[in-house]
Structure 1
Amino acid sequence: MSGFKKFLFRGNLVDLAVAFVVGAAFAGLVKDFANSFINPLIALIGGKPDYTRLAVTIDGTKFPYGIFVTSAVTFAITAVIVYFLVVLPTSKLIERMDRGKEATERECPQCLSDIPVKALRCRFCTSEVTPAAEMPR
């Protein structure tokens, strides 16, 4: 039983649970934003993207491919919203915050693994590396 308790209260499991809850809330936020602003804007320009009635019947069996097409359009709209309103601004903010920071790691010239800047030997392939002060720029 103690192993199970240890498993439940490990940091990464709690982090995953929190990320799941925040992600679900964020998904609702993006969906509502798309329904409130983006979809009406698209409907204003070119009509509402609703293809759910599209279907093809083959040998008496109906294939409602319009449901998939509508979901694909919604997915594309959502992906564009998330990229331009979340990913891009966040990347720019992180880039600005990291400008003044000094590098703490560098690449090993032999195995291309990240090693500390002051390392004299790679911890992965054990090859000797040039000290950081002597590295050409």
Structure 2
Amino acid sequence: MEGFKKFLFKGNIVDLAVAVVIGGAFSALISSFTKGFIDPLLALLGGQPNLDSLTFTINTTVFPYGLFLTQLVSFVITTAIIYFLVVRPMMSAMRRMNLSTDEKSCPDCLSDIPLAASRCKFCGTVQQDPNVQLPTPSTG
């Protein structure tokens, strides 16, 4: 039971829960943006304001492909917004602050050190060169 409590109260699980809630709210926001602005723009171009009603029929089976198109438009808009309003500004801020993602963790002290380092600057542990492959033991 003690291990379960530690798991529940770890910061990562709380962060994940918050991310899921914010993601759901963001998804609803994008869906309403799609229905309120993108669908009318598509109606100006294509003549049909609501893609959800687009279907085709084979024999007596109806395929509502408009539902897929609506979700596809929503997905593209969501990913574009996340990229341009979250990812790119974060990458730019990291570059300005000289925060490098070219680091690895030392296996002994778990400190972040440059990828090219041959020794850990904190504990002095010799680091394996990622470009050098160690020989595999032969069975013979």
- Shorter chain as denominator, the TM-score bin is 0.5 to 0.7
Q: Where do 1:3-22 residues align within 5 Å?
A: 3-22=3-22
**1:48-69 residue CA offsets vs partner (Å, 9 max, x unmatched):** 2244543222xxxx4221x2x1
3-state SS in 2 of match to 1:120: coil
Q: Is the 8 A contact 2:118 2:127 kept in 1?
A: no
Provide the aligned C-alpha RMSD in A.
Answer: 3.2
* Aligned mate of 1:74, from 66, 70, 73: 70
**1:31-80 residue CA offsets vs partner (Å, 9 max, x unmatched):** 000011000110121122244543222xxxx4221x2x112211221122
Name the structure 2 match of 1:84: 80
The runs of 5 or more residues in structure 2 that have no matched partner are: 105-111, 132-140
> How far off its partner does 1:104 sit?
6.9
Q: Against the structure 1 CA distance between its residues 15 and 84, is the aligned structure 2 distance closer, same or farther, given a 3 Å change threshold?
A: same
Name the structure 1 match of 2:29: 29
Q: Is the 8 A contact 2:53 2:67 kept in 1?
A: no
TM-score by length of 1: 0.66
The runs of 5 or more residues in structure 1 that have no matched partner are: 108-114, 130-137
Q: Against the structure 1 CA distance between its residues 103 and 20, is the aligned structure 2 distance closer, same or farther, given a 3 Å change threshold?
A: closer
Q: Against the structure 1 CA distance between its residues 124 and 73, is the aligned structure 2 distance closer, same or farther, given a 3 Å change threshold?
A: farther
Q: Where do 1:37-56 residues align within 5 Å?
A: 37-48=37-48, 49-56=51-58
Aligned residues: 116
3-state SS in 1 of match to 2:56: coil
Q: Against the structure 1 CA distance between its residues 51 and 33, is the aligned structure 2 distance closer, same or farther, given a 3 Å change threshold?
A: same
Taking the aligned partners of 1:104 and 1:63, their CA distance within structure 2 comes to: 52
Name the structure 2 match of 1:95: 91
Q: Against the structure 1 CA distance between its residues 50 and 125, is the aligned structure 2 distance closer, same or farther, given a 3 Å change threshold?
A: same
3-state SS in 1 of match to 2:95: coil
Letter in 1 for 2:36: S
Taking the aligned partners of 1:21 and 1:53, their CA distance within structure 2 comes to: 33
